[in-house]
Amino acid sequence: MASPNVSNHPLVLHKLSLLRDKTTDHRTFRELMRELATLLCYEATQDLNVQEVPVETPMGTARGFKAKERIGVVPVLRAGLGMLEGVMQLLPDAQVWHIGLYRDEETLRPVHYYNRLPAQASVQLCLILDPMLATGGSAAATVELLKKSGITNIKYVGIIGAPEGVERLSAAHPDVPIYLAALDERLNDVGFIVPGLGDAGDRQFGT
């Protein structure tokens, strides 16, 4: 199987366990989702290019660095919204493009209902945010949309993935690295990740 980047950071492990817990309330769930998104964004941006720019400190001149890549962030509605703020804390200048997709409950195929991608994108890196990589249909469709807009350097940042989803996304788009907090066992017969955390959208928004 294609190998996703699965974090083994102790804080990720700790926060993910709280996130999974069925007794965690909506407010805490949203807070944990935001914090996990920040931690995973840190891992997904380890290879950003920086430009050397000297910086004047009160004591002299130091070697300074400036992150020079323009970045686009794509939260997939609804559940991806919960990851946005945590990522924007690290990347305050990123452009945000919302994509709306939901999974048809019968067919499990993604249904596309909203798209705020720019006609012409001029970023060097695009991060897709969606906590759950289940069948991989939504993630593959999002990458497809981004590629049609001319974006080539894309990373997927999720929270929990199923082997089926990782396989599907990597087979369709081997050039898109996948960052996760956990790779779970499997999908159940209605397409939910097991053990997972339930429905990420419902648990965030109290629906």
Chain residues in the site for ligand PRP (CB under 6 A): 76-79, 101-103, 108, 110, 130-139, 165, 191, 199-201
Task: Tell me whether residue 8 or residue 207 sits nearer to ligand PRP (CB atom).
Answer: 207
Minimum gap (Å) between residue 102 Cβ and ligand PRP: 4
Comparing CB distances to ligand PRP, the nearer of 41 and 79 is: 79
Nearest residue by C-beta to ligand PRP?
Answer: 201
CB of 151 to ligand PRP, least distance (A): 19
Residues with active-site annotation? 103, 107, 199, 202
CA distance 178 to 44: 9
Q: How far apart are CA 175 and CA 2, in angstroms?
A: 11
Closer by beta carbon to ligand PRP, 18 or else 77: 77
Determine contact, residues 101/112, Cβ cutoff 8 Å. Answer: yes
Give yes or no for a contact between 125 and 46, defined as CB atoms under 8 angstroms apart.
Answer: no
Q: Would you tell me how many other CB atoms lie within 10 Å of the CB of residue 66?
A: 10
Count how many residues are written for the chain: 207
Are residues 143 and 101 in contact, defined by beta-carbon separation less than 8 angstroms? Answer: no
**What torsion do the CA atoms of 171, 175, 176, 178 make, to the nearest 10 degrees?**
70
Three-class SS state of 189: coil
**What DSSP state is assigned to residue 1?**
-
Taking the complex as a whole, how short is the minimal distance between the CB of residue 8 and ligand PRP, in angstroms? 23
Would you say 101 or 154 has its CB closer to ligand PRP?
101
